[in-house]
Amino acid sequence: MTDDVYDRQGFGKETGMGARPALLLIDFVNGFADPEMLGGGNIAQAIAASRPLLHFARSSNWPVAHSRITFAADGADKNPFCAKVPALAALTASNPARQVVDALAPAAGELVVDKTVPSAFFGTALTQWLISRGVDSVVVAGCTTSGCVRASVVDAMSWGFRVTVAKDCVGDRAKAPHEANLFDMEQKYADVVPFSAIAKQFGRA
């Protein structure tokens, strides 16, 4: 079995969470909630499952950050990401599809990161924002698991944060890439656990 190779080579160890976690919600916007635009699969379920996670983070006084893809209306910042997925170019500042879904709308004091690439860290103020708040670990929810979630998880780990993926709070438009990337992230970059395990760790189960 494939799992045996990873076990034998020592992959998949737990890193745990630190004393000062933050919540990062990746691209839970209207366009990705719409199966006719950029959504589908289990993204709707991930959005619903993220509501108690967001409430938990807020009630625990965690820093909370949201990301959303935002391109210029005149196409000035189009890039290879747009070339691969042309529909992304429609996510401009004036398009409601680019807004965070109402169920997870940002509150006052929460960071909203606009980006034109998969990672919420690349070319944004997110890293410094987390560091300035003393964050040592990041809990990640969002979509898609195989795309912007994975890219953000890898970058979070690369910046030295311990990363936990709330596996019931991430979604993708297809089952196979969702499950494959959960497996791969758990082996190399992050702990992958349900929200209930995160709440239990902090004595709030």
In angstroms, the CA 68 to CA 27 distance is 5
User: Contact 56/63 with Cβ under 8 angstroms?
Assistant: no
In angstroms, the CA 183 to CA 180 distance is 5
For residue 182, which of 149, 155, 138 has the smallest C-alpha distance? 149
In angstroms, the CA 124 to CA 115 distance is 7
> What are the helix and strand counts (H, E) for the chain?
8, 6
For residue 123, which of 92, 79, 167 has the smallest C-alpha distance? 79
Residue 143: active-site member? no
- Please identify which of the residues 82, 143, 148, 169 carries the catalytic annotation: 148
Q: What are the catalytic residues? A: 148
